[in-house]
Amino acid sequence: MNKFKYYFILLLAGISLVSCNKSDDDDDAVVVPLNDYTVQYKADNDSIVKYLNTNYITVTNSSGTPQDQDVVISKITDPATQPSIMSYLNSASFPKLLTRDVYNDSITYKIYYLILREGTGQNPINTDKVVATYKGNLLNGTVFDSSNGGIPGRFFLWPYDQPTADAFPVIDGWSEIFPKFKTGTSSTASDGVITYTDFGAGVMFLPSGLGYYAEVKTDIPAYSPLVFSFKLYDLQRLDHDQDGVYDYQEDVNGDGYLYDFRDTAKYPKPTDNLVDDTDKDGIADFVDGDDDGDGYTTRFELTKPTGATYSGVSKYYPYDPILDNPNTPNTDESEIWGIPRRPTGALADPTKPESITNSKAFVPEDYTAPGRTRMHVDKTYPFQKN
């Protein structure tokens, strides 16, 4: 799994690599500039398109077994019986080859990905943690890495996350394609063995700019396009700014993707439709402790008022109502209300205007109304600090 430790070596195009070669005249290292991202992407894309047109795929379809959705990719020898992978482009049924445009390194990449099975559970977003298996190979067929004996591993989809004892961050291409798939269902046997069914499964074909680019890895030369077959079993939602709102709930535009555009080397000119930033301060909500920029932290705005009687044992409002945990029969964790909007009830003193000392009362609809602007993203409440 160590191939998926992300070392952040994709530097600006102006930064150079140093080779180990020496000149004949002295011992100075020879400075080799990085390939231009635009030029390299064109070469990679040409190679990937050729690969898709000259190879076919076979898939094991045996639901309930560990071999379900195993993939073999082979050179076409009989076009009449071996349809190319490219022939599945925009197919109405599975397998289905699709593309995704990805803004990175100041250019827009097109990623081809093959959906073998979409899955029946939830879609991760690109900052979640996932449970998955994989196999990676080069375009020449060389397998450079795979899951440890088919045992599912845990991976952070956001490349900026730090490795932990049980999970590693991944390359950019993974974070862009996994959100297009859903998890499956699981059952645990008496011996603790977990079996997954109906999980999402696919293949991604990545240009080197969304892989390791100029870095040389074991069995992976510099500037290598990569092919990964994978199975998405489960996910864990994360809260990167620890403000009490999960990342996926801070996806303002609802596209399933979050980006930290403070990394101007990777994202020099992001388009507005990619930005999930309520207060437009340049910090995306999922890494911003004050989403609406009103001077009150999101965690403060999610705190229930002292002395009031509310359902549930948490001191914070959940994003949406939650059910009681059946595994704790002696405690009722149910929350019938989610984060409220600015209150719309009667003024404390109807003869005076609304103010910080004469606020309106909360009514039940303030906690439940669909589409409400929750107060942690409403700059008008609490009142501005002056």
DSSP bridge pairs for 311: none
3 state SS of 272: helix
Q: What is the pLDDT of residues 6-35, one digit of tens each?
A: 333 333 333 333 334 434 455 555 566 899
CA-based nearest residue to 293, from 278, 303, 272, 275: 278
Q: Is the peptide bond preceding residue 169 cis, with omega within 30 degrees of 0?
A: no
* CATH code at 2-236: 3.10.50.40
The residue ranges of DSSP E strands in 157-259, in sequence order, are 167-169, 185-188, 194-197, 200-206, 226-236
Name the pTM for this structure.
0.87
d(CA 188, CA 104): 40
The residue that leads in pLDDT, 63 or 234, is: 234
Q: What is the pLDDT of residues 86-131, one digit of tens each?
A: 999 999 999 999 999 999 998 999 999 999 999 999 999 999 999 9
3 state SS of 149: helix
167 and 184 in contact (C-beta within 8 Å)? no
Q: Which amino acid is at 64?
A: G
pLDDT at 382: 86
The residue that leads in pLDDT, 307 or 300, is: 300
Residue span(s) of the chain under CATH 3.10.50.40 come to 2-236
Rg (the chain; Cα; Å): 25
Residue 39 is classified by DSSP as H
d(CA 3, CA 233): 20
Q: What is the pLDDT of residues 224-272, one digit of tens each?
A: 999 999 999 999 999 999 999 999 999 999 999 999 999 998 999 888 7
pLDDT over 70 at 299, yes or no: yes
Q: Which amino acid is at 214?
A: A
Q: Would residue 182 be called left, alpha or beta, if left means φ above 0 and alpha means ψ between -120 and 50 degrees?
A: beta
113 and 202 in contact (C-beta within 8 Å)? yes
